[in-house]
């Protein structure tokens, strides 16, 4: 039996499996067959598709060191306490859930539409990866960028999850094999990863509809859901069609970094989420981050050099620039002063980009001077400082970009080099926006950041209140911003 040109090698709908065991490591191969016409003769080709199984997961699971490709049965069979907590500990090796993770998991497991607002580094992927192992159904995950998607697929595979993806320019055999296996009941895959454009293409949407009608889909995840905001900087036209997933009868988990209440409303409205949608908002207060605003004098590079030399010698950091040419210039100036820096921007050659990122990730280069194109999906825990060479364009961006510091929970510092003239760099972009509503929203966003820089009130309080007026988690700054730490200033009571 087959669904495409690729046939299973073996009987029935499932391919035969060859298993190779050695030294506590188990690798399995699915066998497929296909016929190819070579030189006028039909040749039968056997394809062995390898599935790597992580060593420590398989060791934990069973005495004979083997593990079924789908983790559900074996793990759940041995569980004692709450399912989600046991999976978190045994598969992801975290002791407890952080922030709002558990609340989000409980909500989606109750089959509620859920919007999860969580700051960068809050551990959003756990919120769908854990439920994906709780039920033998497929979680369909929409990721905005292919590079991020492939990264995430690798990360999930390394945890032992059986995940797959479909994309447009994919080897036909691989595609057929994935599609074939997606029809298995019960499913073998825990997650299917897609870009918004792929899921909306008629063939894949038909496939998803069929799987959902056959009750094979657990729920849908829309990552970076703020891309649905037509006024936002990150707007992606295909996101505005993703509401169609909601018509397939499975719950939807929309995830986003910290956003304002206006963006949050837009996400709910544009995804056409029902009135009983659960909104879970994690506060954006990060107690381990220290906030500073520094006057930018001359070209700002001397300031950077003195900050780094005084407090962050030999440590990893990011310097964000607005313009591409600034990245190279800043890197050049601070290199001359003896700092170990590289630069990164979107227009660089793809190999140079990769080499730069790798050397920074490995700690060979300490400092990366980059445009804001850098950082999305990059997971480096020991970033000790983030310096904005010029003011960020709005608060959402600032919280996201500065939030890349201190992901390991240890003390880290965020600086903005401020001078009023840098505002004009953003003004040029804002003026080129096509419609006046977007101009107004962007201008307001920029003015809010300027206000943050020039107002002598606690920076932490300003950041937290900006996103939620009722959130008082940042009220106890404990001298973790330059204003509160300064002895001359007496904090006004409000
Ligand atoms: Zn403060």
Q: Is residue 298 part of a domain?
A: yes
Q: In the predicted model, what is the mean pLDDT of residues 445-460?
A: 94
In 3D, which of 396, 400, 409, 338 has the Cα closest to residue 367? 338
Say what the pLDDT of residue 11 is: 64
Q: Mind listing the pLDDT tens digit for each residue in 384-415?
A: 999 999 999 988 889 889 989 998 889 999 99
Same-domain status, 29 and 165: no
Same-domain status, 168 and 257: yes
Distance 481 CA to ligand 1 centre (A): 4
Same-domain status, 188 and 277: yes
As to burial, measured by CB atoms within 10 angstroms (0-12 exposed, 13-18 middle, 19+ buried), residue 144 is: buried
Say what the pLDDT of residue 311 is: 95
Q: Is residue 63 part of a domain?
A: no
Residue 477 has pLDDT above 70, yes or no: yes
Confidence of residue 310 (pLDDT cuts 50, 70, 90): very high
- φ, ψ of residue 45 to 5 degrees: the values are -110, 135
* pTM for the full predicted model: 0.68
> In the predicted model, what is the mean pLDDT of the chain?
85
Distance (Å, whole) CA 308 – CA 168: 45
Say what the pLDDT of residue 10 is: 67
- For residue 16, give its domain range: 1-55
Distance (Å, whole) CA 294 – CA 310: 15
Q: Is residue 456 part of a domain?
A: yes
Which residues have beta carbons under 5 A from ligand 1 (an ion)? 458, 460, 477, 481, 484
Q: Is residue 219 part of a domain?
A: yes
Counting residues of the chain whose pLDDT is more than 90, the rounded percentage is: 51
Same-domain status, 258 and 134: yes
Distance 484 CA to ligand 1 centre (A): 4
Mark 269-278 as b/e (b = at least 16 C-beta within 10 Å): ebbebeeebb
Same-domain status, 77 and 42: no
Same-domain status, 435 and 305: yes
Distance 352 CA to ligand 1 centre (A): 40
Residue 53 has pLDDT above 60, yes or no: no
Distance 478 CA to ligand 1 centre (A): 7
Distance 411 CA to ligand 1 centre (A): 15
Q: Mind listing the pLDDT tens digit for each residue in 66-81?
A: 333 344 334 444 454 6
Say what the pLDDT of residue 446 is: 93
Distance 98 CA to ligand 1 centre (A): 24
Residue 168 near residue 196, CB atoms below 8 Å = no
Distance 311 CA to ligand 1 centre (A): 20
More confident residue, 271 or 7: 271
Same-domain status, 334 and 276: no
The residue out of 242, 257, 281 marking a domain boundary is: 281
Same-domain status, 277 and 293: no
Distance (Å, whole) CA 52 – CA 29: 9
Q: CB 68: neighbour CB atoms within 10 A? A: 16
Say what the pLDDT of residue 12 is: 67
Distance 472 CA to ligand 1 centre (A): 13
Distance 480 CA to ligand 1 centre (A): 6
Q: In the predicted model, what is the mean pLDDT of residues 254-272?
A: 90
Q: Is residue 226 part of a domain?
A: yes
Distance 440 CA to ligand 1 centre (A): 29
Distance 474 CA to ligand 1 centre (A): 8
More confident residue, 106 or 469: 106
Q: Mind listing the pLDDT tens digit for each residue in 282-308?
A: 877 889 999 999 999 888 999 999 999
Distance 381 CA to ligand 1 centre (A): 24
Same-domain status, 82 and 213: yes
More confident residue, 173 or 24: 173
CATH of residue 320? 3.40.50.300
Q: Is residue 273 part of a domain?
A: yes
Residue 240 has pLDDT above 50, yes or no: yes
Same-domain status, 293 and 273: no
Q: Is residue 491 part of a domain?
A: no
Distance 491 CA to ligand 1 centre (A): 9
More confident residue, 432 or 122: 432
Same-domain status, 104 and 49: no
Distance 470 CA to ligand 1 centre (A): 17
The domain total for the chain is 3
Q: Decide: helix, strand or coil at residue 474.
A: coil
Q: Is residue 64 part of a domain?
A: no
Same-domain status, 220 and 267: yes
**Tokens at 316, concatenated:** 């990893």
Distance 286 CA to ligand 1 centre (A): 12
Distance 483 CA to ligand 1 centre (A): 6
The residue out of 13, 30, 55 marking a domain boundary is: 55
Residue 165 has pLDDT above 80, yes or no: yes
């Amino acid at each position: 039996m087959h669904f495409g040109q690729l046939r299973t090698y073996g009987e029935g709908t499932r391919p035969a499996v060859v298993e190779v065991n050695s030294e506590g490591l188990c690798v399995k191969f699915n066998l497929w067959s296909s016929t190819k016409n070579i030189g006028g003769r039909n040749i039968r080709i056997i394809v062995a598709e390898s599935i790597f199984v992580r060593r420590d997961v398989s060791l934990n699971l069973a005495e004979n060191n083997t593990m079924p490709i789908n983790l559900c049965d074996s793990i759940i069979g041995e569980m004692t306490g709450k399912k989600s907590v046991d999976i978190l500990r045994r598969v992801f090796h975290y002791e407890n859930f952080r922030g709002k993770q558990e609340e989000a998991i409980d909500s989606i497991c109750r089959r509620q539409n859920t919007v999860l607002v969580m700051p960068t580094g809050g551990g959003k992927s756990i919120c769908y990866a854990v439920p994906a192992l709780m039920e033998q159904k497929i979680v369909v995950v929409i990721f905005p960028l292919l590079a991020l998607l492939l990264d995430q697929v690798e990360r999930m595979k390394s945890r032992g999850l059986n995940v797959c993806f479909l994309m447009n320019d994919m080897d036909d055999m691989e595609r057929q094999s994935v599609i074939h296996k997606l029809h298995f009941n019960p499913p073998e895959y825990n997650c299917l990863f897609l870009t918004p454009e792929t899921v909306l293409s008629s063939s894949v949407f038909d496939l998803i509809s069929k799987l959902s009608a056959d009750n094979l889909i657990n729920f849908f995840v829309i990552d970076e859901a703020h891309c649905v905001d037509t006024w936002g900087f990150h707007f992606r036209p295909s996101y505005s069609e993703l509401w169609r997933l909601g018509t397939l009868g499975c719950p939807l988990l929309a995830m986003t970094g910290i956003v304002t209440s206006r963006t949050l409303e837009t996400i709910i409205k544009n995804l056409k989420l029902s009135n009983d949608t659960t909104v879970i908002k994690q506060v954006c207060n990060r107690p381990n981050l220290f906030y500073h605003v520094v006057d930018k004098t001359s070209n700002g590079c001397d300031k950077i050099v003195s900050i780094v030399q005084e407090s962050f010698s030999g440590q990893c950091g990011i310097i964000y620039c607005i313009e591409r040419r600034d990245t190279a210039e800043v890197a050049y100036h601070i290199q001359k002063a003896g700092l170990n820096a590289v630069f990164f921007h979107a227009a660089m050659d793809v190999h140079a980009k990769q080499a730069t990122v790798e050397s920074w990730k490995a700690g060979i280069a300490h400092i990366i001077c980059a445009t804001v194109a850098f950082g999305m999906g990059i997971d480096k825990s020991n970033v000790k400082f983030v310096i904005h060479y010029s003011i960020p364009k709005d608060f959402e961006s600032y919280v996201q970009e500065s939030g890349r510091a201190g992901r390991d929970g240890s003390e880290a510092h965020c600086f903005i080099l401020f001078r009023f003239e840098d505002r004009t760099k953003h003004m040029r972009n804002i003026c080129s926006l096509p419609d006046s509503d977007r101009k107004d929203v962007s201008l307001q966003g920029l003015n809010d950041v300027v206000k943050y820089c020039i107002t002598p009130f606690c920076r932490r309080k300003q950041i937290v209140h900006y996103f939620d007026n009722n959130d008082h988690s940042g009220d106890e700054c404990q001298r973790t911003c330059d204003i509160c730490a300064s002895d001359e200033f007496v904090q006004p009571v409000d």
